[in-house]
Structure 1
Amino acid sequence: MTIHNTAALAAFLLAMGVAHAAAAPRLIPDHDAMGVYRISQPGKPTQTWRVRYLAASERVRAVSLSGQAAGTAILLDLASGAANVVLPQMHAVVAVPGLSAMMQKVMDNRGAHFTRLGQATIAGRACTRYLVLKPKGDGSACITPGGVVLQATGKNDHGSVAVQALSITNAPQQAAAFTPPAGYSSITLPPQMLAQLLGG
């Protein structure tokens, strides 16, 4: 998995909120939610992902809606740290043990300083805008009172990424959607091949 793919994955996971930070706004939704997000990185095709969050078990499901990764799903169990990539074109599931640790490293908010910038409306939802300054990077975010990030940008030595919600729905999510499909084979792929399948 390249750093560019890691940053992009971290960006849309941040959009549904997978990190806590002291003295920061709530960054994990307090309810089930589903959103469609646009992810932009300089020099890379824009990506669109549908991200679902299951509050009861802190699980995330993200499905690519565009590009060569279309149909690929990423499943994260935030409580256990388990991460799987579902590849429908191969009828297979790839466990990615290091993905959660990579996400936490990219999204670590220790030392982050949040400054309120005012209110905004994104995808029809009200959110509070923040400037986010970190020791090794900076960015911004617009976060709803319920903890859903509607917009986020980030920049560090590895590059920059921007995430924008195109639509958001607060609705109960089915637990079965957050587990690998029955009948899929468990396989192992080299990191470079997995990155290619994810559009990197």
Structure 2
Amino acid sequence: MNFKIAAAALLLSGAAIVPAFAAPRLIPDRDAMGVYQVTQPGKPTQTWRVRYQASSRMLRAVSLSGQATGVTVLLDLAAGSADIVVPQMHAIVAVPGLSGVIHKALDQNGAHFTRLGDATIAGHQCTRYLILKRKGDGSACITRSGIVLAATGKDSKGSAQVTALQIAEAPQPPEDFQLPQGYSNINLPPQMLAQLLGG
């Protein structure tokens, strides 16, 4: 599994947008929770619960399916750090490269947004946008309140599609965005990390 592509798409699934005809903001301005399905060509479909806390700019994604069930990704957008919590190993794995991928996904320099129309996903109405960038392209369907209900992205390394199954805007508990105590900090080769994540 190309986890970095999937993680970038998951981040987009919590995105907020400014008024119509302006470029989308790719950082949420309110707390939210969603359950999303992630698909990639040739890979098993995965389901993730994504939470975002606006005050700390923290994103938490927990795998709900397959051998990666329970694995948690914590992204600190303010600090630019990324950690993966692996309960099966009672371990925390720092992933510096993932943070860089996220920042590239948030970079709007040279991006072109085209409004495509409206859709209904997971019982919510959203506006569809085509997103074109020099090194990749994608699309997103965004509600008036700023929640992305679907997103796709592709570049030279692969592609991923994210679709919301459930969405709720509500305050998120601060403790959900803290690394667990008593876990070991370890490093893993990319291949082993991909296997843990269901790749």
Name 2:75's counterpart in structure 1. 76
Distance 1:189 1:19, change over 3 A: farther
Between the aligned residues of both structures, percent identity stands at 66
Counterpart residue identity of residue 5, structure 1? F
Instruction: Show structure 2 runs of 5+ residues with no match.
Output: none
TM-fit CA distance, 1:19 = 10
Name 1:193's counterpart in structure 2. 192
Distance 1:174 1:106, change over 3 A: same
Matched position secondary structure for 1:16 = coil
Distance 1:18 1:45, change over 3 A: farther
| Structure 1 residues 44-193: aligned runs within 5 Å | 44-193=43-192
CA RMSD across the alignment:
2.1
Give deviations 1:152-194, integer Å, cap 9, x for gaps: 1122222221110000011110111111112212222222211
Task: Find the aligned partners of 1:43 and 1:19 in 2 and give their Cα distance.
Answer: 32
Give deviations 1:113-145, integer Å, cap 9, x for gaps: 111112222112221111111122222110122
Task: Find the aligned partners of 1:45 and 1:6 in 2 and give their Cα distance.
Answer: 16
Q: Which moved more, 1:37-46 or 1:27-36?
A: 27-36
Task: Find the aligned partners of 1:92 and 1:18 in 2 and give their Cα distance.
Answer: 32
Task: Find the aligned partners of 1:137 and 1:86 in 2 and give their Cα distance.
Answer: 29
Task: Find the aligned partners of 1:118 and 1:19 in 2 and give their Cα distance.
Answer: 15
Task: Find the aligned partners of 1:173 and 1:144 in 2 and give their Cα distance.
Answer: 20
Counterpart residue identity of residue 17, structure 1? A
Task: Find the aligned partners of 2:142 and 2:108 in 1 and give their Cα distance.
Answer: 15
Task: Find the aligned partners of 2:17 and 2:177 in 1 and give their Cα distance.
Answer: 19
Distance 1:54 1:102, change over 3 A: same
TM-score normalized with structure 2 length:
0.91
Task: Find the aligned partners of 2:153 and 2:101 in 1 and give their Cα distance.
Answer: 16
How many aligned residue pairs are there? 197
Distance 1:130 1:18, change over 3 A: closer
